[in-house]
């Protein structure tokens, strides 16, 4: 599972990616709308990577590390995962997500990696629909999902507030 775009490489997470993940998950701006506390333990980042690697094995899909070709740096993650726990009444469906370090915001990387992930989901995984959700107050993330072609089809409540639920069907992409 490796996807290449003009400026990015999306690849499976490796154990030594934990420092860059910790950099992201310990940043209050990155975590503002995520609904989980800012990480203060680098061991938690190692656990996150192991959890994602387990998803690759069990579900055949999981979030991918995003590497900026120009710098060679891991700048975030993007991609699809199988929602094994029910979310907004949906279970065992593919969901698109992304998270990037702040110095890489505003460069179009979420859209670029999102397009590649959607193409993978529809063409390689043969999905009929892909879902996504974002905190209602996270204007940028909601804008990105609409830009990718997602249609808001509902709302649901999380402990940290209202989330918008999005859907993209194969025939609408």
Give the pLDDT band (50/70/90) at residue 26: very high
Quote the pLDDT of residue 1.
79
**Distance separating alpha carbons of residues 145 and 153, to the nearest angstrom:** 12
Q: What is the dihedral of CA 55, 12, 88, 141, to 10 degrees?
A: 160
Question: Taking the complete model, does pTM exceed 0.75, yes or no?
Answer: yes
CB 28 within 8 A of CB 38: yes
Average pLDDT over residues 14-20: 97
Structural domains of the chain sorted by starting position, each given as residue range(s) with its CATH number in brackets: 2-130 (3.40.630.30)
- Whole-Å CA distances, 131 to 15, 21, 81, 109: 28, 24, 10, 19
Tell the burial category of 57 from Cβ atoms under 10 Å away from its Cβ (0-12, 13-18, 19+).
Answer: exposed
């Amino acid at each position: 599972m490796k996807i290449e775009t003009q400026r990015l490489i999306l690849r499976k997470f490796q154990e030594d990616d934990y420092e860059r993940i910790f950099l992201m998950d310990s940043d209050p701006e990155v975590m503002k709308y995520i609904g989980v506390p800012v990480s203060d333990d680098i061991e938690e980042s190692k656990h996150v990577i192991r959890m994602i690697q387990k998803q690759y094995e069990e579900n055949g899909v999981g979030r991918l590390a995003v590497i900026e070709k120009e710098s060679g740096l891991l700048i975030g993650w993007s991609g699809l995962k199988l929602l094994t726990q029910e979310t907004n009444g949906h279970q065992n469906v593919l969901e698109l997500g992304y998270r990037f370090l702040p110095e890489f915001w505003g460069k179009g990387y979420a859209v670029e990696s999102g397009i590649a992930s959607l193409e993978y989901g529809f063409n390689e995984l043969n999905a009929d629909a892909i879902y996504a959700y974002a905190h209602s107050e996270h204007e940028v993330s909601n804008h990105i999902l609409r830009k990718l072609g997602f249609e808001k089809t509902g709302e649901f409540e999380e402990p940290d507030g209202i989330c918008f639920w999005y859907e993209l069907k194969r025939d609408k992409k």
